[in-house]
Chain A
C-alpha cells in the first residue's frame, strides 16, 4: 500500500482528546517533489495532523509513513529528513537568530564549516541578515515567522512541513513566503503547506487536501478537485420587471437545481456543464419577461471549499 512515490502517507489516522475526535480516520497522500496544500478552516484538525506527522503527538489509531518509513515511536532518523515550522513558532528568546540556527544545525549533525556556510545564506533568504546577531526576544512576530522558516530549512530537508507560515506576516512578507516555497520546490524538496488561506494554497500548491472536523473532504490536484466538486454553475439573470410567471417557468426547467430571486435579479444554479443560457433566455421571453443582463459564473476553489466545509458541518451536526 505504501510507496516511495509518496513523501507522506497517512492511513486511517485518528486522534482523540477525551470525547473530542480531532482527527477522524484521515487518509492523506503527499506525493514526493510537490507542493501539497493542507486546507481547512481554523480548528479543522490540520495542526493536530501535522503534530502527529512530526512525532509530537501519538495517534490513537492509524499509521503514518514518511518516505516509506513508519513513524511509530521516537524516530530521529526520520526527522533528519524533515524541516518543520510550527504554527506561531516559539524559540528560546535568549538566543540570537544566528545561535538558534547554529545550535539547531548542530542537532542535525551539520559540521561547523557547513553551518558557517549555510546560516548567512538562510538569514539573507528570509530577510534577517542584519538582525542575525539580535536576540530572538527582540524580534517582531513577523521576524519570528521568518526565523521559523529559516530553521526549517537549515538541514536542506527532503520534506518541508510548514504550519500556517504566513500567519503574522504583512502582505509583502506573504508574497515573499510564496516565492520562497516555489524556490524550495524547485530544488526538489517536497513541501507540505498547512493553511487556511485559499489564495495562498491556490497560488503555490499543485495538489490539495481539504480537511474539516478531522475528516478529509477532498484530495487531488486543483483541477481534479474543481472537476469533481465544482458541479454547480451559477447563472445570474436580471429582468426588467419581476414576474411570477417567469420564475415558475424557470423552476420548471429540468436542469435547474436551485433558484433564488431578489426583486429583478434571479440566480439559477445548475449541475449541467452545458451552456444553459439559450434555454433560460427562451424560457424568460416565452413567459413575457425581458432580459436586461445575463452572467454565467463557474465555481472557484473557494466556492468548492465553502461548499465542502458547509456540507461537512451539516453532516457532523446530524
Chain B
C-alpha cells in the first residue's frame, strides 16, 4: 500500500477522531456515569416528591395527565448548571492541566477543529443524557400518575433544555479556556450562577427594573399568566425556554404580566406591564443564542491563541 493510499485529507475522518477522543475522555473518566446519576436523582425527586407528600397527608395519589410534561420542562436552574459543570469544566482546561494538550495540539488538526469536535461531543453527551432523562420521566409518570397528555411535546422540551444548558456550558468553557483551570471554571461559573439567581430574584420581584433581566442569562424576570397565584407564575429568562415553549404551544395567546412585590405591613402585588408569551419566548431564545455565540467565540479565540508553556 502506498503512503498516498494510506492517508487522506478527509475532514470527516479527522473530525470524527476528535469527537471519539472527547467522548472516550468523558465516558471513561466516569463523567458520563456521574451526569446520568445526577439526572436520575433529579428526575426521581420530581416523580416521588408528590407521592411522599400525598402519603404524609394521607391522600391517595391523584391521576395527573400533565406530570411528564411539567416535570420534563422543570429541570431548570440548578439542574442546567450542574449538567453544564459536569460536561464542560475540564473539557479544555483538563487537557492543559494533565499535559495531554501537547500531543493533541501537535497533531495535524486545526485548533478550530479540535474546539468544534469537543463542542459536538458535549452536545452529544447532553442530548443523550436529556433523552434518557425524559424517557425515564415519561415512563415514571405513566406508572405513577396514569396515562399522560402531550408526550409529543417532550422533544420540544428537550430542545429548550439543551439551549438553556448550553449557555452555561459555553460560559464554563470560556472561563476554563481563559484560566486553563478546571477549578477556576467551576467556581467562577458557580459564582456567576449564584449571583444571577439571587440578584435576579431580588431585582425581579422587589424593583421595577425587571427589563434588565431580559438580557441576562438565568431565570430572568418573574411574571404570571392569567391571574397572580403561585401556580401561574413563570420565569421569563433563558433557563425557562423549555417550559415557555411548551406553554406557548398549548396556549398561543397567553400573555405574561410582570409584577412587583411591595407594601407594608403585608405584601402587595403591583402589576407592572404585560407582553405576549411569544415575545418572551423569542427574546429568551435570541438572548440565549447571543450568549452561547459570545462565550463560544471567547472560548474559541482564547483556545486558538493559547500557548503551551508547561
Contact = CB atoms under 8 A, between A and B. Distances in A.
A109 B7 contact: yes
A107 B14 contact: yes
Contacts of B25: 92, 94
A156 B102 contact: no
Given A54-B106, A114-B1, A90 B307 contact: no
Interface stretch (A5-13, A55-63, A279-287): A55-63
A91 B100 contact: yes
A114 B7 contact: yes
Interface in A94-117: 94-95, 99, 103-104, 106-111, 113-114, 117
A86 B102 contact: yes
B152 interface: no
B108 A56 contact: no
Nearest to B304: A74
A203 B3 CA distance: 30
A76 B110 contact: yes
Interface in B90-106: 98-100, 102-103, 105-106
Nearest to A78: B108
B17 interface: yes
A111 B17 CA distance: 11
A103 B106 contact: no
Given A92-B25, A94-B24, A106-B20, A111 B105 contact: no
Contact of B109 (A89, A107, A156): A107
Contacts of A57: 307-309
A108 B100 contact: no
Nearest to A151: B103
Contacts of A55: 105-106
Contacts of B14: 106-107, 109
B100 A155 contact: no
B57 interface: no
A89 B7 contact: no
Contacts of A89: 99, 102-103
B253 interface: no
A95 B24 contact: yes
A86 B101 CA distance: 11
Contacts of A155: 7, 108
A185 B20 CA distance: 33
Contacts of B106: 54-56, 79, 82, 84, 86
A160 B136 CA distance: 52
B232 interface: no
B24 A90 contact: no
A262 interface: no
Given A57-B308, A92-B25, A109-B9, A74 B110 contact: yes
B109 A76 contact: yes
A90 B105 CA distance: 13
B105 to A, nearest CB: 6
- B14, B24, B107: most-surrounded residue (chain A CB, <10 A): B107
Contact of A106 (B1, B13, B29, B113): B13
A17 B9 CA distance: 36
Contacts of B7: 108-111, 114, 155
Interface in B103-145: 103, 105-113
Given A56-B105, A109-B108, A156-B3, A103 B100 contact: no
A132 to B, nearest CB: 16
Given A58-B307, A95-B24, A103-B17, A109 B103 contact: no
B16 interface: yes
A58 B108 CA distance: 17
A231 interface: no
Given A106-B20, A109-B8, A90 B107 contact: no
B245 to A, nearest CB: 37
Interface of A: 17, 51, 54-58, 74, 76-77, 79-80, 82, 84, 86, 89-95, 99, 103-104, 106-111, 113-114, 117-118, 148, 151, 155-156
16 contacts: A17-B309, A56-B102, A74-B111, A79-B106, A84-B106, A86-B106, A90-B99, A90-B102, A91-B100, A92-B25, A94-B29, A106-B16, A108-B7, A111-B7, A113-B1, A156-B3
Given A56-B106, A76-B109, A114-B5, 11 more contacts: A54-B106, A58-B307, A79-B107, A86-B103, A90-B99, A90-B103, A94-B28, A95-B24, A103-B21, A107-B18, A109-B13
